[in-house]
Amino acid sequence: MPRASRPSRRSCRASAPQGWKLLVVLPLAFTAVGALGAAFPLVLGNGRALATAGFDLSQPALLLIALAVLKYVATTVSLGSGAIGGTLQPSVAIGAALGAAAAAGWAFVWPGADGTALAIVAASAFLASNMRAPFTAIALIIEFTNTGFTLLLPIFLAVAGSLVASKLTSRESLRPFAPIDPARP
pTM of the predicted structure, to 2 decimals: 0.80
The answer to whether the CB of 159 falls within 8 A of the CB of 137 is yes
Number of alpha carbons in the 13 Å side-chain half-sphere of residue 80: 14
Q: ∠ at Cα 145 (116, 65), nearest 5°?
A: 45
Give the separation between CA 170 and CA 139, rounded to whole angstroms. 25
3-class secondary structure, 136: helix
Phi, psi of 16 (to 5 degrees): -65, 145
Write down the CATH number for the domain with range 9-171.
1.10.3080.10
CB within 8 Å of 163: residues ≥ 6 apart? 128, 129, 132, 134
Q: What DSSP designation does 170 have? A: S
Neighbours of 34 (CB within 10 A): 11
| Tens place of pLDDT per residue across the chain (185 aa) | 344 445 555 566 667 777 888 888 889 999 999 999 999 999 998 999 999 999 998 899 999 999 999 999 999 999 888 888 888 999 999 999 999 999 988 888 888 788 899 999 999 999 999 988 999 999 999 999 998 889 999 999 999 999 999 988 887 765 555 455 555 55
Domain ranges in the chain are 9-171
DSSP-assigned states of every residue in 1-70: ---SSS--HHHHHHTS--THHHHHHHHHHHHHHHHHHHH-GGGSTTSHHHHHHHHHT-S-HHHHHHHHHH
